[in-house]
Amino acid sequence: MSSEWPLWEVFIRGQHGLNHRHVGSLHAPSAEMAIQNARDVYTRRNEGVSIWVVRSNDIAASAPSDKGPLFEPSNAKVYRHPTFFDIPDDVGHM
């Protein structure tokens, strides 16, 4: 019973040059098997051209409770968005 295979997170890059994207997870004994299984489970309909797998335990994640302080610095800097600046229509497209 103690032989439960570890959990892996699966990332797939689609056809059009986009980033690898998290698609789900699966159990596998090794990285090689995780990639094999990911191919069978997550790319049955041409969803991808490249697969990454990483042990779920190896992922470090931010805590939801830190959401406020963690993202506050960017919330406070609205001037980072182009819409912050009023450009008269006469200037044309910018």
Partner 1 sequence: MYAQMVTSEGGKARDEMTPEERAFQDRIDRGERIEPKDWMPEGYRKTLIRQIGQHAHSEVVGQLPEGNWITRAPTLERKQILLAKVQDEAGHGLYLYSAAETLGVSRDELTGMLLAGKMKYSSIFNYPTLTWADIGAVGWLVDGAAIMNQVPLQRTSYGPYARAMVRICKEESFHQRQGYSIMMTMARGTPDQKAMAQDALNRFWYPSLMMFGPSDKDSVHSAQSMAWKIKINTNDELRQKFVDQTVPQARFLGLEIPDPGLAWNEEKGGHDFSQPDWSEFYEVLKGNGPCNAERMEARIEAWEDGAWVREGLMAHAEKRAAAHAAE
Can you point out the beta strands (E) in the chain?
Answer: 7-13, 21-27, 50-55
Q: Does 35 bind partner 1 (CB under 8 A)?
A: no
Count of positions on this chain that bind partner 1 (CB under 8 A): 20
Q: Does 7 bind partner 1 (CB under 8 A)?
A: yes
Q: Which of 58, 56, 39, 57 is nearest to 48 (CA)?
A: 39
Q: Does 54 bind partner 1 (CB under 8 A)?
A: no
Q: Does 4 bind partner 1 (CB under 8 A)?
A: yes
Q: Does 27 bind partner 1 (CB under 8 A)?
A: yes
